[in-house]
Amino acid sequence: MPAPTRLLILTILALLAPAVATAAEDDAATFNMQAENDLFASDNDRHYTNGVRLSYLTKAKPCPDDRKRCLSGILRQVTSIIPAFRDGEEHRISYSLGQNMYTPSDITVRELLPDDRPYAGWLYAGLGFVSRNTFEGRAAKTYNRIDNLEINIGMVGPWSGAEFAQKNWHKLFNFRKPQGWDNQLHNEPGLVLIYERIWLFNKRPEILPHLEMEFAPNIGGAVGNVYTHAAAGLRARIGINLPDDYGPPRIRPSLPGSDYFSPGERLGFYVSGGIEGRAVARNIFLDGNTFRSSPSVDKKHFVGDLQAGATLVAPRLGVVPPFRLSYTYIWRSKEFHGQDFGDRFGSINLSFNL
């Protein structure tokens, strides 16, 4: 691995370590492991080909009426300029580390493919504020709400380590050797501010008393030199002993879920489906580098996701802590002009309630 990449990873981990240690002393909370890959849904190896994300979500703390007492430092400054953001009855802090990987359709070609998306990687660390409101004090409670505000800071280009990761992964499992990484985007620091809100409407059908249903519309968006877009969508789920969560998390950009989950006393299971549309102003992995010439394609300004999946949530089983295990199948519409087909990939999530 190149020395700059090792230095970036060590710096990110050093920044996260004090926060994680503080949360652990406070007996918090949820640890998530996420992997997304086209191998999980098709035999293709192209475009958004791999993503990994680790996250840590602290234990919930009550949020007083005075917002400033809930927030500190940069979170206080950032949330003050987000008109839609509102505190809830409780809040959590999230810390994450992830890497996304993008390639053209044919990775066996060494030369630049000018009509296909370029090679690119994105290594980032995230700091977020999660606000949840159950409206338990309201006379006629019909829905819950969760707000997620997150800042991602990282590196696009060779220092992301994506070339090293894909070449060695393919070598380990004797997959096709990727040949064109010399054509990837240049090194560029990345900064993205992300906001998401999910409403959760509960319903228990009378004709099926053992099943529960939930509908969760969402809005959101991102601003930064990596992503800039606005989004809206809807998720529905039906199952037995539905856990208290907002669906399994996904690697952005995507239909949002949540790192947060709270298992019940019995085993829970549900199937879910969702749709989201995004109006895209910038996607560095299609538009190319911000401040210098680089490979690029003519992106589409409207992109849609369809997804379906299944989730199992278990209470504590002996020495095994409560966990959530999910699989999601995603179909994504064409992202750039000249793209032959939409993309298919799968997402696997494993979360532990510590």
| CA 281/CA 230 separation, integer angstroms | 8
Interval 195-199 mean pLDDT? 92
- Distance, CA of 181 to chain centre: 25
* C-alpha dist (Å) from residue 227 to 4, 84, 224, 251, 285: 24, 19, 5, 13, 9
Which residue is it, tokens 């430092």? 73
Mean pLDDT for the chain? 86
The percentage of the chain sitting over the pLDDT mark of 70, rounded to a whole number, equals 81
Say yes or no to pLDDT of 105 above 70: yes
The range of the structural domain enclosing residue 106 comes to 3-353
HSE-CB of 114 using CA atoms within 13 angstroms: 0
pLDDT tens figures, 20-67: 333 333 345 899 999 999 999 988 889 999 999 999 999 988 766 555
- The domain that holds 122 is classified in CATH as 2.40.128.140
Note the pTM of the prediction, 2 decimals.
0.86
The token duo for 337 is: 């002009």
What local confidence, expressed as pLDDT, does residue 275 receive? 97
Count of domains observed in the chain:
1
Helix extents (H) in the chain? 3-25, 73-79, 162-172, 284-287
Q: Please report, rounded to a whole number, the percentage of residues in the chain having pLDDT higher than 90.
A: 61
* Spatial contact of 116 and 343, defined as CB atoms under 8 Å apart: no
